[in-house]
A and B are shown apart, each in its own frame.
Chain A
Amino acid sequence: MTLAPETTDPRLELRLADGWLAVCDLALLVPGRGVAVLLPDGRQAALFRDRGGKVYAIDNRDPFGGAAVLSRGLTGTHQGRPFVASPLLKQRFDLETGRCLDDETVRVATYGVRTAA
């Protein structure tokens, strides 16, 4: 596993149980699209940036199909809240709470994100 090299651009960090994990440059995130992050314990997170520059992180696994693909979904705004639609069967997940908008019994993990200089 190669971790992202150090640069001077604003960096994104993910909050894990034991502290902040440096992930990548903010500039790598295209507004409206996501990227996947490999976590030290083997799990995966999906990172998104909206057009206002706000960044969100949720689990990358699609809880319906099992594949790690939520980072490849399309994002949008539903009643003022940001969401991503899974590229598999199109269920939508709230990017702030991880709740599935199309099936209230389902929810994915969320992670805190911050930018560090």
Chain B
Amino acid sequence: MTATPGTTPTLVLVGHGMVGQRFLEALAERGLTATHRVVVLCEEPRPAYDRVALTSYFSGRTPEELSMTDMEFIEGHGIELRLGDPAVRVDRAAREVTARSGEVFGYDVLVLATGSYPFVPPVPNKDATGCFVYRTIEDLLAIEEYARTRAGTGAVVGGGLLGLEAAGALKGLGVEAHIVEFAPRLMPVQVDAGGGAALLRTIEEMGLTVHTGVGTQEVVVGPDGAVTGMKLSDGSELATDMVVFSAGVRPRDQLARDCGLLVGERGGIAVDEQCRTVSDPRVFAIGECALAADGRVYGLVAPGYEQAQTAAATVAADEAAFTGADLSTKLKLLGVDVASFGDAHGSTEDCLDVVYADSRSGLYKKLVIGRDGRLLGGILVGDAEAYGTLRALTGSVPPVSPESLVLPAGADAGARLGPSALPDEAVVCSCHNVSKGTIRGAVAEHGCTTVPEVKKCTKAGTGCGSCVKVLGQLVAAELEAGGVEVDKGLCGCFGQTREELYEIVLALRVTTYQDLLDRYGREGARGGDGCEVCKPAVGSIIASLAPTIGASGYVLDGEQAALQDSNDHFLANLQRNGSYSVVPRIPGGEVTPEGLITLGEIARDFGLYTKITGGQRIDMFGARVEQLPLIWTRLVDAGFESGHAYGKALRTVKSCVGSTWCRYGVQDSVRMAIDLELRYRGLRSPHKLKSAVSGCARECAEARSKDFGVIATSQGWNLYVGGNGGATPRHADLLAQDLTDAELVRLIDRFLMFYIRTADRLERTSAWLERLPGGLDHVREVVVEDSLGICAELESLMADHVAHYADEWATTIDNPEKLARFVSFVNAPDTPDPVVGFVPERDQVKPDLPLLSIGLRSAEDLLEGSAPR
């Protein structure tokens, strides 16, 4: 497939969707971007984005975050990407494509990747104002705008995969959502009657109204031409302000039809096993617009990716074929796991079913087994934990009895089958067609030791993400098998991780560090003095469990004092010249004029540099160590307490002004921020904890950059977790929606205690969430669904903390023995440290930095001046 020698052949790609982008990557991998001029005609105003994750736009993913296109890749490979310029005509005789802009491109190879269009049933008024489809980012923007401004009720036509997603999105927008499905059950393609029933119950419990077995006959419009309702086939009328059609998709094959390429009876550009159109060897079709050689049009992304690889290989004159693909899917619909794989409906002759159903908890699991014992397929609703393993086992005889694969954990289930039982050929990641063998190879031969490395090396887990859990288990197993000593120990003193130490301290009620070190430390470390890594880490564990294990909750008590990092030991932040900063707690950022005046007076009287912090409070710098108790005394008298700016503990809960003052506010965000800050103040954790509460979706408090952020909705609160500012910013993920006050607090209690229990030392919630196998889904299972049955314990640990909180500053100024430590010199308690000096700047002070270098001597000088021991 090359042009006349001497000229660069041109490849034109029509459609820059998910499959189109994948095709470009495959071209680049094969070096074809270097040998070809590559022109891409892209109809949408933006380059390829993750359509599969489209709905995550409504939980806060921005269009930029959805993008799958790295512009450096496009430019680096010299790809001519023409946004907003679709192909309008193909002239196969002249080998030319005309774009809407009028420009004409000659081609040697033409690849059509035009995807699908949403099918809208031909009912009267289907194009009225208020009618939408659900396919592109532009569709979502339009739905959002309409829902916000004009709609209280919305109806989704179609109860399949996309329809449920659309209905969930409407609900998230505060619209009362109805689903109208013609078939007698939801998701008729993926699940059977039993699964549909389990799904229906769960979805109705979420407050969505489902109408099955009825069709849409007409969209009813008002005098202004906008939607007011929908007439249904049972004669009833449903009042609604908007309609979203989600009744399936059809291949976009018009361009191909117009230029005489063969299309299937029910649409789709007919191609052979090499993805070449059957009519013209210079034209290929891939993705949802193609009718594959096996007679199917695939509506999933994984088969499209495989076609993209096949087409690129064929262009490179390599051998490849696409002969069909698996239709397995795993979805999280409105928080419910739904998965189907293999022969889900049991269409193979003589096959048998194994079914487990528990309608109370919305569980339905079915396996289809062949006469010879082979696993043929299955359906999982409500708990798709086993999906990765089961999908990969499909086609083989499972090594344990099929019943044990669907019974819930804890039931007399025998062995729960792990991924280690899979054969090497088993496909673990179906999005990228990566087998278990390839993953093992990445560890064994390419030296990958972490899941992110393996993802990068094999691409596994970078599609829909449903295989990441299994991936994590495989990587760990392979590392272990390879005898790779991954010393996960906390430090040179302890071979255990922080999480393991936490469990030891909690279970065995170990209340001192020395006891822990002498009993559980590494061989050579027992009896020693520990180190600067494990002392504060263990100190923090003991502090966060203090009331429960019967240790003192006061961080300066007894041995605890010796464990604290320097800042915690002085209950203030050390500055570069040896002075300290003082940050009183200002819950929610709310402070009275009186309070401000007191702070001003204290800062003035002690000559402190004053600054508003990024955490909505006030920092006073330049206090000498002996001034700290005097400053605290005045602060405590005025009702202030420690803000723990020094601790790996709760810092601030920022707030926006909320519904009391702001014209957009839908909840009282200030009150909630204050409540949360007071509840969690003093809570010691693996790293600092920050939070914020915004009074509406405008998000002025920046809650999504926080470890736990709360955003008001008209129904309650949305809780986001795992956000981070700092060096590696991360937006927090939605954990749960529309919570009442009590539900919100309970969920945060559980979330924080689960984090404190399982995170590594100095691991913010963001890094923790990314590291945990299963990520957010796992956290949701544990803290929302209580999959481990530990929620009651987590709540009681938090209740203990809340009940025993005491202000550290107040405790310290009441304790003369502790106060004696706040001196510069043990032998001259009244003398200030002469190295701490200040010079004026902008009407305040700053450290006298040159003073710090006076009198410092080089190592050689020192050796001589050093007094003999």
In the complex, are the beta carbons of B562 and A77 less than 8 A apart?
A: no
In the complex, are the beta carbons of B492 and A17 less than 8 A apart?
A: no
In the complex, are the beta carbons of B856 and A63 less than 8 A apart?
A: yes
In the complex, are the beta carbons of A4 and B826 less than 8 A apart?
A: yes
Known: A1-B831, A107-B863. A51 touches B529 (CB 8 A): yes
In the complex, are the beta carbons of A72 and B574 less than 8 A apart?
A: yes
Contacts of B561 in A (CB 8 A): 30, 33
In the assembled complex, the CB of A58 is this many whole angstroms from the nearest CB of chain B, namely 10
In the complex, are the beta carbons of B866 and A109 less than 8 A apart?
A: yes
Which chain A residues (51-106) contact chain B, with CB distance < 8 Å? 51, 61, 63, 65-69, 72-78, 80, 82, 85, 87-88, 90, 92, 98, 105-106
Contacts of A105 in B (CB 8 A): 859
A109 to B525 Cα, complex, angstroms: 27
In the complex, are the beta carbons of B525 and A77 less than 8 A apart?
A: yes
Known: A23-B826, A33-B569. A78 touches B531 (CB 8 A): yes
In the complex, are the beta carbons of A3 and B827 less than 8 A apart?
A: yes
In the complex, are the beta carbons of A92 and B532 less than 8 A apart?
A: yes
In the complex, are the beta carbons of A16 and B825 less than 8 A apart?
A: no
Contacts of B440 in A (CB 8 A): none
Which has the most chain A C-beta neighbours within 10 Å: B529, B567, B829, B830? B529
Which chain A residue shows the least CB distance to B826? Answer: A35
Contacts of B574 in A (CB 8 A): 69, 72, 87-88
In the complex, are the beta carbons of B862 and A112 less than 8 A apart?
A: no
B867, CB-defined interface residue at 8 Å: yes
In the complex, are the beta carbons of A51 and B867 less than 8 A apart?
A: no
Known: A31-B562, A65-B852, A87-B566. A110 touches B826 (CB 8 A): no
In the assembled complex, the CB of A97 is this many whole angstroms from the nearest CB of chain B, namely 9
Contacts of A16 in B (CB 8 A): 867
Contact bitstring A27-56, B, C-beta under 8 A = 1, else 0 = 010111101111000111001001100000
A68 to B821 Cα, complex, angstroms: 16
In the complex, are the beta carbons of B530 and A30 less than 8 A apart?
A: no
Which chain A residue shows the least CB distance to B564? Answer: A74
Partner of A32, one of B524, B525, B529, B824: B529
B183, CB-defined interface residue at 8 Å: no
Contacts of A74 in B (CB 8 A): 531-532, 535-536, 565-566
In the assembled complex, the CB of A25 is this many whole angstroms from the nearest CB of chain B, namely 9
Contacts of B524 in A (CB 8 A): 80
In the complex, are the beta carbons of A61 and B827 less than 8 A apart?
A: no
Number of A-B contacts (CB under 8 A): 145
In the assembled complex, the CB of A54 is this many whole angstroms from the nearest CB of chain B, namely 10
In the complex, are the beta carbons of A51 and B514 less than 8 A apart?
A: yes
B593, CB-defined interface residue at 8 Å: no
A4 to B530 Cα, complex, angstroms: 31
In the complex, are the beta carbons of B825 and A72 less than 8 A apart?
A: no
Contact bitstring B816-852, A, C-beta under 8 A = 1, else 0 = 0000110011111111011110000000000000011
Partner of B826, one of A28, A50, A82: A28
Contacts of B576 in A (CB 8 A): 65, 67, 88
B284, CB-defined interface residue at 8 Å: no
In the complex, are the beta carbons of B866 and A110 less than 8 A apart?
A: yes
Contacts of B852 in A (CB 8 A): 65-67
Contacts of A108 in B (CB 8 A): 862
Q: Would you call the interface of chain B mostly helix, strand, loop, or mixed?
A: loop
In the assembled complex, the CB of B822 is this many whole angstroms from the nearest CB of chain A, namely 11
In the complex, are the beta carbons of B829 and A85 less than 8 A apart?
A: no
In the complex, are the beta carbons of A76 and B853 less than 8 A apart?
A: no
Contacts of A110 in B (CB 8 A): 866-867, 869
A33 to B863 Cα, complex, angstroms: 26
Which chain B residue shows the least CB distance to A84? Answer: B532
A38 to B833 Cα, complex, angstroms: 9
In the assembled complex, the CB of A14 is this many whole angstroms from the nearest CB of chain B, namely 9
In the complex, are the beta carbons of A68 and B535 less than 8 A apart?
A: no
B868, CB-defined interface residue at 8 Å: yes
Contacts of B828 in A (CB 8 A): 1-3, 38
A87 to B524 Cα, complex, angstroms: 26
A35 to B824 Cα, complex, angstroms: 8
In the complex, are the beta carbons of B827 and A111 less than 8 A apart?
A: no
A98 to B859 Cα, complex, angstroms: 10
Known: A32-B563, A73-B566. A90 touches B532 (CB 8 A): yes
In the complex, are the beta carbons of B825 and A37 less than 8 A apart?
A: yes
A3 to B831 Cα, complex, angstroms: 10
In the complex, are the beta carbons of B577 and A30 less than 8 A apart?
A: no
A32 to B513 Cα, complex, angstroms: 12
Known: A36-B824, A37-B826, A105-B859. A77 touches B569 (CB 8 A): no
A31 to B828 Cα, complex, angstroms: 21
Contacts of B869 in A (CB 8 A): 15, 110-112
Contacts of B821 in A (CB 8 A): 35
Partner of A66, one of B528, B536, B834, B853: B853
Known: A61-B835, A69-B578, A77-B528. A44 touches B859 (CB 8 A): no
Which chain A residue shows the least CB distance to B865? Answer: A109
In the complex, are the beta carbons of A78 and B826 less than 8 A apart?
A: no
A82 to B576 Cα, complex, angstroms: 25
Which chain B residue shows the least CB distance to A100? Answer: B859
Contacts of A36 in B (CB 8 A): 824-826, 833
In the complex, are the beta carbons of A4 and B827 less than 8 A apart?
A: yes
A85 to B574 Cα, complex, angstroms: 14
B570, CB-defined interface residue at 8 Å: yes
B5, CB-defined interface residue at 8 Å: no
* 18 sample A-B contacts, Cβ–Cβ < 8 Å, listed by A number: A2-B829, A2-B831, A4-B827, A15-B868, A15-B869, A32-B530, A32-B559, A32-B563, A33-B561, A38-B827, A66-B853, A74-B532, A85-B532, A87-B574, A105-B859, A107-B859, A107-B863, A110-B869
Known A51-B514, A51-B529, A110-B866; further 18 A-B contacts with Cβ < 8 A: A2-B830, A3-B827, A17-B867, A32-B559, A35-B825, A43-B855, A66-B852, A67-B577, A68-B578, A73-B532, A76-B528, A77-B530, A78-B531, A87-B565, A87-B566, A88-B576, A111-B867, A111-B869
A interface list, Cβ under 8 A from B: 1-4, 15-17, 23-24, 28, 30-33, 35-38, 42-44, 47, 50-51, 61, 63, 65-69, 72-78, 80, 82, 85, 87-88, 90, 92, 98, 105-112
In the A-B complex, the 8 residue pairs with the closest CB atoms = A66-B852, A32-B562, A87-B566, A76-B531, A77-B528, A67-B578, A85-B532, A35-B826
